[in-house]
Amino acid sequence: MAVEGLLAQGVAFITGGGSGIGRACAEAFAAEGAKVAVADRDLAGAEETCRTVMAAGGQALALKMDVTSAADVRQALAEVVEKWGRLDYAVNCAGIILPMTKIGDLSDDDWDRCLAVNLTGVFVCLREQIRHMLPQARGSIINISSGAGLKGSAGHAAYVAAKHGVVGLTKGAMLDYCRSGIRVNTICPGGIDTPMAAEIARNASEAGIANDLSDFTFTGRLGRPEEVANAAVWLASEKASYVYGASISVDGGYTAA
């Protein structure tokens, strides 16, 4: 584990860090010298991520947290600041996907749940992270949206609405705090080889829809979680010091067409 690196001596807070892109971000941030707090409603997953980070020589803290609970988010961030004294970086990665459902068949409960996790959860985390970063006049926050935040996807209207909302929320936050030393940006992953991608494939199969990789990418393969994490590290670092409010696609060309 690098003592020095792009994020050396910084403190990172990563939601959804128990698996997939969140886990890859935790590992990548730690490899670049950051201390990482791994928050997930699945504590066992967060702890497994932390074990991997610490086995490589990094510092990590596992936190059980539900992004739909403002009290959970405030408590988790308070623990991070109490332990390490500050908050420098955040990646808001927690998200869910619903089974494919046309709007006419979408229930109120499913709509509310999808928006609560994928959009309101990002808002709550972003708000509380900014409050911790303001006193030090420094910070970088990366919200994980999706290719579905830039274009439509049949059968996933609630997810598309939430992920478009994340892009808009990022732009609004950037305008509010760009002169306060805090950068806020978005990454829009396409088809990435994660548990969520496997869930999408199962949902498609159950709906009788062929799951062709061409639906997610023009490269002939799904992306790897670490390919998204590498973009997050760059955005967090001073290498991206003039990048504000951007929506960066990491999607094998999915949104180019």
DSSP 99: P
Could you tell me which residues are beta bridge partners of residue 144? 187
**Does residue 36 come out as left (phi exceeding 0), alpha (psi in the -120 to 50 range) or beta?**
beta
- Find tokens 């609630």 and name the residue: 158
The Cα–Cα gap between 155 and 60 comes to 38
Residue 11, token pair as written in the block: 């403190």
Catalytic one among 89, 159, 177, 254? 159
Q: Is 177 labeled as catalytic in the residue annotation?
A: no
Residue 131, token pair as written in the block: 């409050």
**Whole-Å CA distances, 16 to 65, 101, 153, 168, 239:** 9, 24, 23, 21, 25
Active site residues: 159
